[in-house]
Amino acid sequence: MSEEVQQQPQMRSSTMQMYFLFMILFMVVIFIPQLRFALGNAAGIILTPLFSFNYKYPLYTLLAAGILVTIINSAAAHHYTDWIKMAKNQARMRAFNQVYREALRKQDMAKLEKLKKLQLRFSAESMEMQSQSMKATLITWLFVIAIFTWLWLFMQYSIPYTYLAIPWSHAVDLNRVSYWFPNWLLIYSAFTMPLAWVVRYIFKYFEFRKKLMAMESQELEAIE
């Protein structure tokens, strides 16, 4: 058995430990009011002058905070993600799944046994990439929670009115709870989810472009 496969249990254990650590820290911040308010007020020292818009345009505040959180998360994920390796792994897994289904259909037991061993190696590599992604989450979680806490305090206590018109309704109370969440959070999510996809696509585009330019330069140097 290869060294990569032997390391798979340790990698899985390390990833799970990081995940549980993140969840514990998240719950500590969320469920201790003093810590939550302190974190939100500390973030407000920077965010209020930048994104309060004189407390007149809460929708602009939501959008600005969403852009900031998206950039922070996307930049951290980009730093710890090898997009080239990820694309190769995805293409390899598609080819592997096709071969595996064919071997399963033909009941080729010898080939299936070889493919299962190969699958263990692929799983180890996938687990390694998940560990890198978790590192990005652990780095950004404090900033993101601070921004969300400030945003919650801002929406609850700072703005003079909470009703505004949006494309699908002429009057929405930002602090009213709908589907177990306040409306401002639903509006925030509706904006940031597609935005996150666009920002990550831009990061990936420039990463692939940089790699291609580096490969072209190496080829030109080899020719010369």
- Would 9 be classed as within a structural domain? no
Whether 15 is in a domain gets the answer no
Domain count, the chain: 1
3-class state of residue 42 by DSSP: helix
Give the whole-angstrom CA distance, residue 14 versus residue 31.
26
pLDDT averaged over every residue in the chain: 77
pLDDT at 64 over 60: yes
The continuous run of DSSP H or E covering 215 comes out as helix 183-223
pLDDT in tens, 82-118: 777 777 787 888 888 888 888 888 887 888 788 777 7
What range does the domain containing 178 cover? 39-144+152-223
Q: Is residue 196 part of a domain?
A: yes
Cα 74 from Cα 21, distance rounded (Å): 21
CA distance 199 to 193: 10
Indicate whether 69 belongs to any domain: yes
In a domain, 176, yes or no: yes
In a domain, residue 91? The reply is yes
Tell me the pTM. 0.69
How confident is the model over 7-55, as pLDDT tens digits?
444 545 555 666 666 667 767 766 777 777 888 888 889 998 989 888 8
Question: How long is the chain?
Answer: 224
pLDDT higher than 60, residue 202: yes
In a domain, 122, yes or no: yes
